[in-house]
């Protein structure tokens, strides 16, 4: 019956579907960088924390500290510039023409977007002080205080640059301005298109921020407030607004006002610091306040980093095609370890967010539901990050943390997320890592085994009807994607001699040829052949 209902739903136009898939694939480049770098940064940052040095004195060795600090600084530059990475990745992936110029234009566009938003904030008198800017959704990027869009800002710049490249790469101008035509027009027009967005976005963001502040009292309701908070926190990740919500709850009255030994502490984090670092587990305030305070900080986050993310990763691995599992295993394992060690969950979350927004919403709702028993179980584990290191230090080494209850709740979360994700991926045939439509064996062809890319490329071009029948060639993770002049000239039997794993036409004049993880080398060889006279 469900399939009958689904079959009656309006079909997404093929062009839209292709564009969405192209956009989703464009995010893989920055994600591929963030995962291993985040893992290194997480380890170095955790081992350099003062509480770790106190527990393990050898970490205080000056040479070791220098190495850890240096690695942390080097890797942090990547995460401090995530929007820029997404701008370039999206521009490169979505642009069909002049990809290099599109990437250049995306950087220009992102810089202009930030400065334009800064100009608006300054002119409107809404540029916040350094102490309060995080609470109103502002931050400093590349030396400019602006609206804190996070990755979304880069994605916007990348999409504008790519769309401009696709539309205007052959723009012809009058003779007097001819020098600025063609591909040179792409960054210029990107600036023109970005400026209005930079003036509109701060207005929209101020409305959203005001709304979040106005409903923040809901998030501090005993027992259920933390669940609602965590659900919203996850939902806001794609927009970068989760930092606004976190800052409001951590540092303002929206997170509560706590009277501790006659002194008033405003916000979740200020109260946590007093109880955790000054009063300790023997204080009556520990049992009274820590279950609630920690449900907004590291203890709650550990449910995601230590249990939910591994569960999702396992579901992806188990639903991957058997012959693709070796490749999928490396990608998934890196994403899981990045969260486990560094509290960086975005690589895994982004891996399914754009493939299935509905699944991401389900994920956010499940995060809220999985939090419901937290305060009832008196879990009292600090601190902010929520990594395995925080669990070891603040869970196992502190008394009265009830860490065993976190493990029990985490196990329940693990099974909940694993079975829901596994069911959903299989039910709706999502192309999560390792679930490409065709499995690839390297033994499929002697040419593939010998890695004779020029020979493979020659066969493919001949099978496609020759150079004159090929309009455009690109590739995704496993396939060549080719636009054709006349699809009737394609000889599929000839193409199969190349050792490809499959061939199909997603639209009339667009063909996919599947080669698996070697596809990039085949693509380069095809490009070289097409350039030959």
Task: Give me the active site residues, please.
Answer: 476
Within 13 Å, how many C-alpha atoms sit on residue 479's CB side? 21
CA distance 99 to 89: 10
CA distance 497 to 57: 62
Question: Distances from the Cα of 220 to the Cαs of 165, 288, 389, 486, in angstroms?
Answer: 47, 15, 27, 63
Chain centroid to Cα 242, Å, comes to 13
CA distance 272 to 266: 10
- Give the angle 378-381-386 at the CA atoms, nearest 5°: 130
Q: Which two structure tokens, joined as six digits, stand for 79?
A: 């995460």
What size, in residues, is the chain?
Answer: 533
User: Is there a contact between 85 and 33 (Cβ–Cβ < 8 Å)?
Assistant: yes
H-run or E-run covering 10: none
Angle between helices 242-251 and 225-235 (to 10 degrees): 150
CA distance 27 to 354: 9
Residue with tokens 């009656």: 8
Q: What is the DSSP string of 52-114?
A: HHHH-GGGG-HHHHHHHHHHHHHHHHHHTTHHHHHHHHHHHHH-SS-HHHHHHHHHHHHHHHH
DSSP conformation class of 354: T
CA distance 368 to 386: 17
Q: Is the dihedral of CA 341, 342, 343, 346 positive or negative?
A: negative
Is 486 buried (19+), middle (13-18) or exposed (0-12) by CB count in 10 A? exposed
User: Is there a contact between 484 and 511 (Cβ–Cβ < 8 Å)?
Assistant: yes
Which of 369, 351, 363 is closest to 234 using CA atoms? 363
3-state helix vs strand vs coil in the chain, percent to 5: 70, 5, 25
In sequence order, which residues have a C-beta less than 8 Å from that of residue 148 and are 6 or more positions away?
Answer: 134, 137, 138, 139, 141, 240, 243, 244
User: Is there a contact between 457 and 464 (Cβ–Cβ < 8 Å)?
Assistant: no
Is 517 buried (19+), middle (13-18) or exposed (0-12) by CB count in 10 A? middle
């Amino acid at each position: 019956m469900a399939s009958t209902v689904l079959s009656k739903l309006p079909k997404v136009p093929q062009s839209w579907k292709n564009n969405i898939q192209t956009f989703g694939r464009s995010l893989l480049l920055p994600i591929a960088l963030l995962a291993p770098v985040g893992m290194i940064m997480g380890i170095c940052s955790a081992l350099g924390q003062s509480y770790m040095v106190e527990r393990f004195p050898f970490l205080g060795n000056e040479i070791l500290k220098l190495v850890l600090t240096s690695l942390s600084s080097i890797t942090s530059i990547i995460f401090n510039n995530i929007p820029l990475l997404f701008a370039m990745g999206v521009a490169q992936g979505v642009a069909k023409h002049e990809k290099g110029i599109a990437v250049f234009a995306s950087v220009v566009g992102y810089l202009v977007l930030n400065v334009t938003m800064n100009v608006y904030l300054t002119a409107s008198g809404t540029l916040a002080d350094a102490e309060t800017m995080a609470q109103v959704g502002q931050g400093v990027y590349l030396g400019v205080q602006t609206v804190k869009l996070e990755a979304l800002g880069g994605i916007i710049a990348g999409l504008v640059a790519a769309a401009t490249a696709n539309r205007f790469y052959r723009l012809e101008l009058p003779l007097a301005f001819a020098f600025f035509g063609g591909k040179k027009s792409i960054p210029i027009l990107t600036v023109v298109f970005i400026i209005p967005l930079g003036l509109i976005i701060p207005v929209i963001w101020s409305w959203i921020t005001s709304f979040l502040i106005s409903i923040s009292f809901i998030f501090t309701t005993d027992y259920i407030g933390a669940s609602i908070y965590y659900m919203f926190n996850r939902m806001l990740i794609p927009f970068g607004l989760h930092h606004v919500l976190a800052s409001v709850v951590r540092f303002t009255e929206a997170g509560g006002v706590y009277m501790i030994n006659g002194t008033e502490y405003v916000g979740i984090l200020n109260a946590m610091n007093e109880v955790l670092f000054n009063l300790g587990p023997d204080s009556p305030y520990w049992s009274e306040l820590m279950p609630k305070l920690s449900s907004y900080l590291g203890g709650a986050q550990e449910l995601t980093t230590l249990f939910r993310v591994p569960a999702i990763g396992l579901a992806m691995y188990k639903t991957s095609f058997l012959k693709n599992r070796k490749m999928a295993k490396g990608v998934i394992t890196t994403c899981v370890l990045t969260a486990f060690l560094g509290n960086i969950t975005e690589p895994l979350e982004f891996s399914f967010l754009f493939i299935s927004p509905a699944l991401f919403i389900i994920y956010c709702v499940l995060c809220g539901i999985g939090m419901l028993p937290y305060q009832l179980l008196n879990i009292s584990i600090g601190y902010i990050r929520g990594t395995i290191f925080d669990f070891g230090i603040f869970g196992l080494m502190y008394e009265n943390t009830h860490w065993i209850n976190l493990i029990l709740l985490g196990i329940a979360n693990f099974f909940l997320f694993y079975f829901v994700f596994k069911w959903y991926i299989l039910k709706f045939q999502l192309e999560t890592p390792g679930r490409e439509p065709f499995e690839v064996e390297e033994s499929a062809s002697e040419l593939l085994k010998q890695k004779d890319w020029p020979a493979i490329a020659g066969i493919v071009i001949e099978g496609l009807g020759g150079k004159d029948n090929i309009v455009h060639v690109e590739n995704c993770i496993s396939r060549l994607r080719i636009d054709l002049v006349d699809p009737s000239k394609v000889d599929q039997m000839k193409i199969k001699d190349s050792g490809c794993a499959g061939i199909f036409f997603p639209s009339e004049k667009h063909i996919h040829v599947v080669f698996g993880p070697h596809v990039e080398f085949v693509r380069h060889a095809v490009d070289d052949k097409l350039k030959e006279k």
